[in-house]
Structure 1
Amino acid sequence: MTQPRLDVLAIGNAIVDVIADADDGFLAEQSLDKGSMRLIDEAEAERLYGLMGPGREASGGSAGNTAAGLAALGIRTGFIGQVADDQLGAIYRHDIQTLGVDFLVEPRRDVGATARCLILVTPDAQRTMNTFLGAAQKLDASAIDHAAVADAGILYLEGYLWDPEGPRHAMEAAIDAAKAAGRKVAFTLSDTFVVDRHRADFLRLMDEGRIDILFANAMELAAMTGEDDFDAGVAALAPKLPLLVVTHGDQGAVAVAGEERARVAAEPIERLVDTTGAGDLFAAGFLAGQARGLGLEQSLKLGAIAAAEVIQHYGARPEKDLKALAGGLL
């Protein structure tokens, strides 16, 4: 097998995040469930944006955040996600490319507006996300460069994007291209609502051997397995996969590959500010370790380091030098 041009190629929603502070009273007034993610239409996005306090814009999206983290760790990374030919689309492409990520999809004028996520952060650092998917859900199979997929060591897929039919077909095509080239496929479950809607599909992918690395958090694990006990959930799901990685909040994370099992504690932090992107950056650190041929424990450690950095400031992209924080691990 030839050496890949890219270490990781990520596919996901290309979303511009708008982040603002809010209190519990505001969430209650807007009937918002704290810590949740809901999908909204363009009209609701405009309405809620008008009520939000001062915010800041940053390119986001789950897999896009992971791609940014990977690039910050010195990993050769590409990204596939659909943007519109509009101002936010230009901002998204510029931001991700300046980070060193190859952006592999052309903007389109026939897909509506570029997606945005309105993120309300309460004083307890919980984030409540209101997402208008816009152009992101118009990604279709024609946007998948099969040669680029075949030339990436790991294909990383965002569960959020499995929901609309067009992107789902696009990701299935990408999985086929990766498997035909003998590459690995990593998948993140993204959210419990994604699991609830597509559990049968995800189990099918596992049974067909089309997922090599699965990322989940404790709530997604419980939704996937029906097991409320964390260890029981890991025991139920791990045999279905070559490699299962599960984060458990401040209790750390676990990785299981066959008979091999590793666990690391969460990294100490000075102050919890915003949990947005914690799972995305954890995946970045872990995949960076795997791309560099590190073991499970070292890869988990890198994930914990990257996640700890991002939860100590607003936004889902790293602000400190992740390579320096990683020390001698990379």
Structure 2
Amino acid sequence: MSEATYDVVAIGNAIVDVIAQADHDFITREGMTAGSMQLLDAEQATGLYGRMGPGREISGGSAANTLAGMAAMGARCGFIGQVANDQLGQVFIHDLRATGVTFEVPAREGEPPTGRCLILVTPDGQRTMNTFLGASHYLPVAALDKGLIASGAILYLEGYMWDPEEPRAAMRSAIITAREAGRRVAFTLSAAFVIARYRADFQALIDDGLIDILFANEEEIVALTEAPDWEAAVTAIENKVPLLVVTRSEHGAVATQNGERIAVPAEPVERVVDTTGAGDLFAAGFLTGQAQGRSVEDSLRMGAIAAAEIISHFGARPEADLKKLVAEKLG
């Protein structure tokens, strides 16, 4: 097996986040559930955008956020995703490349436009996400750079991308490429609604031994296993994946490896401003720790440090010096 030239290569949604503050009355009037995520079509996205308050445009997408966090901590990263050849597409390309992440997939011509996520943040820091996936769900197998995938120590896959047919085929192909190159495959379950649709697919990936690192939160691991609670869910799945990582919001995180459970508390935060991207940045810290050869416990702590930074401000891209924060807390 040749030496990896990238720490992580990820496949995920290429989306621009539009973040605006909103009160709970607005959330209720719009028929939303605070803290939830729903998919919109183009007409719904246009209507909601018109009713939202002033917003900030920040490039997002779950796996892309993870790579931006990793790059901020010094990791070498590559991204595979699809934007349209439009203004938001150019914004996304510029923002991701500016973090130091390699991104070379050509922009797609014509409709649909680049994906966007309309995020409403209530005063308690909860984010309600309304996503129009647009061009991001038209990623074909032909867009895969197999050399890039084979050069990454870990292939990181975003569960949200399993929903449409084209990216699902692309990710299956990428798994084969990574496996043939002797690389590890990490998978994030992303959301309970995705699991509800593709539980059998995800369980088959796990049962076939194709997932080396599985990321989930409490709700997602319960949805995957249909267990009565998160602890029972961990018990049901921990012997099926080499490394399982479960985030628990203010209760910290748990990982299981070789029959051992390792738990860390959440990092203290003076004030929760916006929980957008907390899971993405947790994965960034954890994967960077693994790339640096750190222990599972230290990797969990790095995840907690990165997540705490991201929820202290608006947006899912780090604003503080994550490398410095980790050095101060872990050395």
Structure 1 length normalisation: TM-score? 0.98
Write the distance in 2 (CA, Å) between the matches of 1:17 and 1:220.
23
Q: Deviations over 1:95-126 (max 9, x none)?
A: 00000000131101044200000000011111
2:273 is matched with 273
1:243/1:257 contact within 8 Å kept: yes
Write the distance in 1 (CA, Å) between the matches of 2:111 and 2:142.
14
SS of match in other structure, 1:79: strand
1:26 is matched with 26
Write the distance in 2 (CA, Å) between the matches of 1:259 and 1:26.
46
Which runs of structure 2 are paired with 1:217-256 in the superposition (5 Å)?
A: 217-256=217-256
2:8/2:77 contact within 8 Å kept: yes
Quick one: which amino acid aligns to residue 104 of structure 1?
E
2:239/2:259 contact within 8 Å kept: no
Write the distance in 1 (CA, Å) between the matches of 2:274 and 2:37.
15
SS of match in other structure, 1:290: helix
1:231 deviates by 1.7
Quick one: which amino acid aligns to residue 289 of structure 1?
G
Which runs of structure 2 are paired with 1:67-78 in the superposition (5 Å)?
A: 67-78=67-78
1:46 is matched with 46
1:119 is matched with 119
SS of match in other structure, 2:8: strand
Write the distance in 1 (CA, Å) between the matches of 2:165 and 2:187.
17
Q: Deviations over 1:54-84 (max 9, x none)?
A: 1100000000100100100100001111000
Q: Deviations over 1:181-218 (max 9, x none)?
A: 00000000000001111110011001111100000000
Quick one: which amino acid aligns to residue 143 of structure 2?
A
Write the distance in 2 (CA, Å) between the matches of 1:131 and 1:232.
31
1:158 is matched with 158
2:134 is matched with 134
Write the distance in 2 (CA, Å) between the matches of 1:230 and 1:157.
22
SS of match in other structure, 2:312: coil
Matched, 1:200 2:200: yes
Write the distance in 2 (CA, Å) between the matches of 1:202 and 1:223.
11
2:238/2:259 contact within 8 Å kept: no
SS of match in other structure, 1:240: coil
1:33 deviates by 1.3
1:316 is matched with 316
SS of match in other structure, 2:118: strand
Quick one: which amino acid aligns to residue 302 of structure 1?
M
1:302 is matched with 302
Which runs of structure 2 are paired with 1:66-105 in the superposition (5 Å)?
A: 66-105=66-105
2:291 is matched with 291
Q: Deviations over 1:275-325 (max 9, x none)?
A: 000000000000001111111100000000000000010000110000000
Quick one: which amino acid aligns to residue 278 of structure 2?
A
Quick one: which amino acid aligns to residue 88 of structure 1?
L
Matched, 1:61 2:61: yes
2:326 is matched with 326
Write the distance in 2 (CA, Å) between the matches of 1:222 and 1:259.
19
Write the distance in 2 (CA, Å) between the matches of 1:168 and 1:92.
22
Write the distance in 1 (CA, Å) between the matches of 2:236 and 2:120.
35
SS of match in other structure, 1:131: strand
- The aligned length equals 330
Write the distance in 2 (CA, Å) between the matches of 1:271 and 1:35.
17
SS of match in other structure, 1:214: strand
1:35 is matched with 35
1:111/1:138 contact within 8 Å kept: no
Write the distance in 1 (CA, Å) between the matches of 2:229 and 2:54.
40
Unaligned runs of 5+ in 1: none
Write the distance in 2 (CA, Å) between the matches of 1:43 and 1:260.
49
2:72/2:99 contact within 8 Å kept: yes
User: What is the root-mean-square deviation of aligned Cα atoms in Å?
Assistant: 1.0
SS of match in other structure, 2:286: helix
Matched, 1:17 2:56: no
1:16/1:61 contact within 8 Å kept: yes
Write the distance in 1 (CA, Å) between the matches of 2:110 and 2:257.
44
1:32 deviates by 1.1
Quick one: which amino acid aligns to residue 16 of structure 2?
V
Write the distance in 2 (CA, Å) between the matches of 1:217 and 1:298.
19
Q: Which runs of 4+ in 1 moved over 3 A?
A: none
Write the distance in 1 (CA, Å) between the matches of 2:83 and 2:235.
39
1:261 is matched with 261
Unaligned runs of 5+ in 2: none
1:229 deviates by 2.3
Write the distance in 1 (CA, Å) between the matches of 2:139 and 2:200.
23
